[in-house]
């Protein structure tokens, strides 16, 4: 099964991975048009610095949250967004992200768990990374160039998604968010300080939640 179903589910391939490359524009637009864009929480907000709660209710409230997340992601011109980035303490992220071949991937993962790669399968990519919750800042960060995330879809069905290159970075970055880690937490003290300086000197292009 590889076609979009009427309830918004997408199919899986022969290996059980989400087919998240089909009808991306239509699926993203449907989510976004139902949703309401919300301001982005930024570094320092407590919700970003602790592990989020598991999603246990796969209901209309979750569906509305996912719609709002796609709307918020589009407004902020992001490629991935975790629920705590709009202040919601739940393990769910959305993505609309290209890989290094320019193939677009669009989907939703609840309760994600990043698979540990075997040492021989770990090829590090030290490209620049940014975050909507650390606006206007970028830093080089080494991450594996391939990632597999297991979790559940918006209906609670077990799913897994895989990515390479830029999309692999997105999957790792968003999963980190839901366990209380920002990408700057993986930097050296000097690099983290520099990223925060960039943020202080820049002006976000989208609405953010001021920290008290």
So which residues are the catalytic ones?
A: 174
Kind and range of the H or E run holding 130? strand 128-130
79 near 103, Cβ under 8 Å? no
Dihedrals phi, psi of 200, to nearest 5 degrees: -65, -35
C-beta neighbour count of 55 within 10 angstroms? 21
User: From residue 100, how far is each of 9, 74, 84, 125, 170 by CA, in Å?
Assistant: 25, 20, 27, 12, 12
SS3 at position 118: coil
Rounded to an integer, what distance in angstroms lies between the CA atom of residue 5 and that of residue 80? 23
């Amino acid at each position: 099964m590889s076609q979009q179903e009427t309830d918004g589910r997408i199919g899986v391939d022969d290996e059980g991975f989400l087919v998240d490359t089909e009808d991306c524009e239509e699926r993203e637009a449907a989510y976004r048009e139902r949703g309401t864009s919300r301001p982005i929480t930024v570094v320092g907000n407590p919700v970003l610095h602790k592990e989020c709660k598991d999603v246990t209710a796969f209901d209309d409230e979750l569906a509305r949250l996912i719609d709002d997340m796609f709307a918020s992601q589009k407004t902020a011109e992001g490629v991935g967004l975790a629920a705590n980035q709009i202040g919601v303490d739940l393990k769910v992220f959305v993505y609309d992200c290209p890989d290094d071949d320019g193939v677009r991937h669009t989907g939703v993962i609840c309760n994600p768990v990043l698979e540990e790669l075997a040492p021989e399968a770990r090829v590090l990519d030290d490209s620049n990374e940014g975050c909507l919750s650390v606006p206007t800042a970028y830093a080089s960060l080494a991450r594996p160039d391939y990632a597999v995330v297991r979790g559940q879809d918006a209906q609670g069905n077990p799913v897994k998604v895989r990515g390479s290159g830029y999309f692999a970075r997105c999957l790792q970055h968003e999963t980190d968010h839901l366990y209380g880690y920002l990408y700057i937490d993986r930097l050296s003290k000097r690099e983290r300080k520099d990223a925060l300086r960039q943020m202080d000197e820049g002006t976000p292009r989208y609405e953010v939640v001021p920290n008290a």
